[in-house]
Amino acid sequence: MKNMIIASTSTIYGSGYLEYILKDLQIHFKDVNTILFVPFARPGGMTHDAYTETARQAFSKINIDVVGLHTFKNAITAIEQAEAIFVGGGNTFVLVNELYKTNSLQALITAVKHGTPYLGTSAGSNICGLTMNTTNDMPIVYPPSFKTLGLVPFNINPHYLDPDTNSKHMGETRETRIKEFMCFNTQPVVGIREGSWLQVKGDSITLKGTLSARIFELNKTPYELASGSELNSLK
């Protein structure tokens, strides 16, 4: 049974890394001693070791150890044997490219479907959808495919931003870009605002946090979904 937290971000304004969600993570990972961390997205170009240390320091506050996937010779075996998995944020193109390069994608799908607790933030959340095509990131590398984990039956746009009515920027809004995506794709898109997350338990998907989510469906006007709502029928 899938057991996932798919969070928009790792850090909200005025809060440390994972601090805003740490109490929920303590419950989510209550039977876990060590988390396998996937640092491939490399935010800001930081090293895998440095990124893993950032995650390790956060989880030490709830007495959970963290080990980086990059330290294992065989990524597939490491995923298969993991107590829990955390895929961190950064650049989605870099993350997906590395998952394909290490043949880790299918191993992650299988592990999560078999009940390994999963946490994704930012890019690590974007890849939980059907494809990575609704990422906000620059295409700085070219992965073999944009197809990702498909652990929820829609696409995800982390860090969803509403138009700033005080801004003089005349370019595209996030909503405009997602509407462009909908012109060529049929799957729904869930825009998750900062500090919100999806809780997945088996086939149940629930929006958590204090903010609503923005939902985009084919041939429908985008609409808001309140925190606490289920997304099970969204396909």
What residues are annotated to the active site?
Answer: 122, 137, 159
Residue pair 128/105 in contact by the 8 Å Cβ criterion: no
Residue pair 131/164 in contact by the 8 Å Cβ criterion: no
- φ, ψ (nearest 5 deg) of residue 183: -70, -20
Query: What's the CA angle centered on 149, arms 56 and 60, to 5 degrees?
Result: 10
- State the burial class of residue 108 (Cβ atoms within 10 Å of its Cβ: 0-12, 13-18, 19+): buried
Number of helices (H) and strands (E), helices first, in the chain?
7, 11
Task: In whole angstroms, give the CA distance from residue 94 to residue 151.
Answer: 20
Q: What are the strands of the beta sheet with 85-87, ordered from one edge?
A: 65-68, 34-38, 85-87, 118-121, 3-7, 197-201, 204-208
Three-state secondary-structure class, residue 190 = strand
Residue pair 204/230 in contact by the 8 Å Cβ criterion: yes
Three-state secondary-structure class, residue 147 = strand
